[in-house]
Amino acid sequence: MNEVAIIRVFAALGLVLLCIILFGLVVRKTGFPGKLGRAGSLPVISRTPLGQRTEIVVVQAGQEHLVLGVTAQQINLLHKMPAPETAATGTKHATSKPAGNPEENLPDTPGAPGLPAEKRAFHKTLLHHLNRRFLVLPFLFGMLFLASDTVFAQALPALSSTSNPDGSETYSLSMQTLILLTGLSFLPAVILMMTGFTRIVIVLGLLRNALGTGTSPPNSVLIGLSLFLTFFVMSPVLDQITEQAYVPLNNGDITFEQAVERASVPIHTFMIGQTRETDLALFADMANISEFENPQAVPMRILIPAFITSELKTAFQIGFTIFIPFLIIDLVIASVLMSLGMMMVPPVTISLPFKLMLFVLADGWHLLLGSLARSFYQ
């Protein structure tokens, strides 16, 4: 992030804070909280104190009485009951209702006329459908005895390996296919743990939490963006793997084992460049390895966990930097609401549009994605 981008972020933050202050002044001048209290007042029937700043309040809302539990932090609805006039009227109407014909009020019973006939028709239809379906089962079972005893198919090639004069081994095509399919099952773990995907997806998740947008952008969008940005960051490594391993293997110049060995070199170089020495020393000490001759001598069993630990630390450092301007907006919004006496209004509801405005004015996506991509090669 250059100086122009930093100046742009602070200028956008100052503009957003100015808008928040103007918003607070406008709300205070218009007297919004007082008007709301007068328009929404309810008659209080009774109050029963229970303790310090805690009481039971009965208020009338239309034709009902509401029993409220009031504390210093919140108000809870405990019970809802009709007003005395409404209850008396309802009782009077209930007792004066004419009985009418008692047979009209009786519920339908299983012995009512017509009901057994409907049941018999339903049972008859159900048995008819079941009989039609179960008649097919003996037919299918008999077809099994008409099948041929001999099935002609091409035999599978054997899984074998051949020793070469130079001491190496060459696997058959079926063995190579089995190894390839087995390796594809580990492809998600390779993408997650041996590339920059971990850093990118954690930073984007922390950005969503800092904005307070909940599930927007959704997880599918964040994961898709992280994958494509990972492919962009890893494109130089993939080009080296293609030139040094895939093309010679496709031309038949090297064996499959040599291709795997050559393909691991660019990935090893990428991971060793993103790993801190302290993390390498930690896992090397746990593996009882004192020192390495050169960076390329670090084994994968030590490099991979050290690389993941370094990526997590780097992602949290970037996330902390992202949280700072949005945290300032939350503090200012909370102070403005407290000064206006609007303690019951959630600060997140007011601060969200200002956070989005700051992110758009500072061109946040350009700065964030650009900084993430450059962080792998600086």
Q: How far apart are CA 233 and CA 220, in angstroms?
A: 20
Average pLDDT, the chain: 76
Q: What is the CA radius of gyration of the chain?
A: 37
pLDDT tens-place string over residues 60-100: 887 788 888 888 777 888 878 887 654 444 444 444 444 44
Give the pLDDT score at 185: 80
**Orientation angle between helical segments 300-340 and 364-374, nearest 10 degrees:** 160
What residues contact residue 202 under an 8 Å CB cut-off, 6+ apart?
312, 315, 316, 319
Please give the residue that has the higher pLDDT: either 59 or 89: 59
What residues contact residue 80 under an 8 Å CB cut-off, 6+ apart?
64, 65, 66, 67
Q: How far apart are CA 374 and CA 366, in angstroms?
A: 12
Average of pLDDT values for 27-56?
67
Per-position b or e across 47-79, b if 16+ CB within 10 A of its CB: eeeeeeeeeebbbeeeeebbbbebeeeeeeeee
The phi, psi pair for 334, rounded to 5°, reads: -65, -40
DSSP state of 346: -
Give the pLDDT score at 35: 42
pLDDT tier, 106 (very low <50, low <70, confident <90, very high otherwise): very low
Give the pLDDT score at 180: 75
First to last CA, the chain: 12
Per DSSP (E only), the strands in 8-160 are 44-51, 54-61, 64-70, 75-82
Give the pLDDT score at 203: 94
pLDDT tens-place string over residues 189-223: 777 888 889 999 999 999 999 988 888 889 999 99
pLDDT tens-place string over residues 225-246: 999 999 999 999 999 999 988 8
pLDDT tier, 248 (very low <50, low <70, confident <90, very high otherwise): confident
What residues contact residue 195 under an 8 Å CB cut-off, 6+ apart?
230, 233, 234
The phi, psi pair for 281, rounded to 5°, reads: -65, -35
pTM value is 0.59
At position 107, the amino acid (one-letter code) is P
Q: Does position 39 have pLDDT exceeding 50, yes or no?
A: no
The top-scoring range by mean pLDDT among 134-138, 208-212, 347-351 is: 208-212
Q: How far apart are CA 53 and CA 44, in angstroms?
A: 17
Q: Does position 151 have pLDDT exceeding 80, yes or no?
A: no
| Closest to 79 in 3D by CA, of 93, 66, 97 | 66
CA dihedral for 326, 332, 334, 337, sign (positive or negative): negative
Per DSSP (E only), the strands in 165-258 are 169-171
Q: How far apart are CA 226 and CA 220, in angstroms?
A: 10
Q: Does position 305 have pLDDT exceeding 50, yes or no?
A: yes
Q: Which residue has the tokens 């790993």?
A: 275
Burial degree of 237 (CB within 10 A; 0-12, 13-18, 19+)? buried
Neighbours of 12 (CB within 10 A): 19
Percent of the chain scored above 90 by pLDDT?
17
Please give the residue that has the higher pLDDT: either 160 or 271: 271
CB-CB contact of 335 with 318 (8 Å): no
Q: Does position 349 have pLDDT exceeding 80, yes or no?
A: yes
Least confident range from 121-130, 189-198, 366-375: namely 121-130
Percent of the chain scored above 70 by pLDDT?
71
